Chains A and B, each alone.
Chain A
């Protein structure tokens, strides 16, 4: 997904003086969701699109139809730390916010083609986060 499309779909929360760096499609779900069968697996899945700019990270929470339900924007100062681990198929991102909240996200980096991969996760956003939080 190029920057114009990201801005069009998810960039409404971006201010004029912010420069878009990239985006990350991710899901947040508890490990015990499998206990509740297929419906539980879907119900407990929360979908996020992280829009990474030079000043903030915008956490866009999507509803089941793929529309933005809620946006939380955090400046880099408001995030205590970020832990990032690369798995075989997905990255695990653990955000620790200064207000005490935590968020564990899983973002897929494995795809059949580079084009699909870029739609899911942009390498600029990842490297920017790694650089900012030194992880």
Chain B
């Protein structure tokens, strides 16, 4: 439990401590703590939620998730299709197998605060939830029936895709080259960690990562970003 609290402190502290400049070399104003909280509320609340859920879901004696929680809230074909537990499509996003799984997702989520600062928090949440949901639905039919799937990775991969491509007035050529770059990065990440899967004692659902990224990419193409702020210091 102490480890999880330390993770929460490090996560929130590092996001708030990092003070990015506005990007403009002419701008000399400092970003206040209040502004930092406001502009990064998506990353802060989502990360805190993931850590809190893990704290409630983990086994008493280990840092892994309790078996009954994994089968109840993790996504499985048997749970959703045969038993009708449709809530698993949503809940599976917020539970993680162990601390390594949670921390790897939190690290990338913290890095993606750069994306939230660029766009509004509402768009950040939309990309995350739509990518997670679509990949959960696809998981049901693509992954084996006896496998339980969980984690926020699919939504995070959607956010990674959005970070690289979500700009105002993006042409199809730029969009497709961005998608290619994102897929290469995600596959590199997935397989570089996948090599060590015996150490982590779980398998990486690379298909879910890819579907999440592709969903995020298509979402931002279908709902293009309208950059209303001309002054970059407003976005910092």
Residues of A within 8 A of B (CB): 36-40, 42-43, 59, 61, 63-65, 67, 69-70, 72, 74, 97, 99-101, 103
A100 to B21, CA, bound (A): 13
Main secondary structure of the interface of A (DSSP, over half): mixed
Whether the pair B185, A97 counts as a contact (CB closer than 8 A) is no
Could you say which interface size class chain B belongs to?
20 to 34
Neighbouring B residues of A70 by C-beta, 8 Å: 23-24, 232
Instruction: Indicate if the CB atoms of A59 and B167 lie closer than 8 Å.
Output: no
- Would you give 24 A-B contacts (Cβ < 8 Å), ordered by A? A36-B107, A36-B111, A37-B107, A38-B185, A38-B189, A39-B108, A39-B160, A39-B185, A40-B111, A59-B25, A61-B23, A64-B163, A64-B164, A64-B165, A64-B178, A69-B23, A69-B232, A70-B23, A72-B25, A74-B25, A99-B28, A100-B28, A101-B25, A103-B25
Expressed in whole angstroms, the Cα–Cα distance for A36 and B24 within the complex equals 24
How distant is A15 from chain B, measured CB to nearest CB, in Å?
17
Given the known interface contacts A36-B111, A39-B185, the answer about A72 and B24 at a Cβ–Cβ threshold of 8 Å is: yes
Query: Which A residues are in CB contact (< 8 Å) with B108?
Result: 39
Closest to B115 in A: A43
Closest to A73 in B: B26
Residues of A within 8 A of B5 (CB): none
Bound CA span A36–B185, Å: 14
Most chain A C-beta atoms within 10 Å of own C-beta, residue among B26, B114, B170, B178? B26
**Which residue of B26, B114, B170 contacts A65 across the interface (Cβ within 8 Å)?**
B170
Select B165's contact among A39, A61, A65, A72, beta carbons within 8 Å: A65
Q: Is B200 an interface residue (CB 8 A)?
A: no
Q: Are A99 and B163 in contact (CB under 8 A)?
A: no
Q: Hey, which bits of chain B sit against chain A, CB under 8 A?
A: 21, 23-26, 28, 107-108, 111, 114, 160, 163-165, 167, 170, 174, 177-178, 185, 188-189, 232
B54: min CB distance to chain A, Å: 21
Nearest A residue to B114, CB-CB: A43
Residues of B near A38 (CB, < 8 A) are 185, 188-189
Closest-CB distance, B204 to chain A (whole angstroms): 15
CB pair B167 A65 closer than 8 Å? yes
Chain A hits for B114, CB < 8 A: 43
User: What distance in Å separates the Cβ of B42 from its nearest Cβ neighbour in chain A?
Assistant: 16
Taking a contact as CB atoms under 8 Å apart, the answer to whether A97 and B170 are in contact is: no
Candidate in A36, A42, A65, A99 with the most chain B CB atoms within 10 angstroms: A65
Query: A39–B25 contact, CB under 8 A?
Result: no
What are the residues of chain B within 8 A of A59 when measuring CB–CB? 25
B189 near A101 with CB under 8 A, answer no
Q: What separation, in Å, do the CA atoms of A13 and B69 have in the docked complex? A: 58
Q: Which of A36, A40, A65, A100 has a CB less than 8 Å from the CB of B178?
A: A65
Q: Across the A-B interface, give the 8 residue pairs with the lowest CB-CB distance, nearest first.
A: A72-B25, A65-B174, A64-B164, A99-B28, A43-B111, A101-B25, A72-B26, A70-B232
Q: Once bound together, how far apart are the Cα atoms of A64 and B114, in whole Å? A: 12
Residue of A with least CB distance to B181: A64
Q: Is the CB of B185 within 8 A of A42?
A: yes
A84 to B71, CA, bound (A): 60
Chain B residues with CB under 8 A of A97:
25
- Shortest CB–CB separation between residue A69 and chain B, in angstroms? 8
Residues of A within 8 A of B185 (CB): 38-39, 42
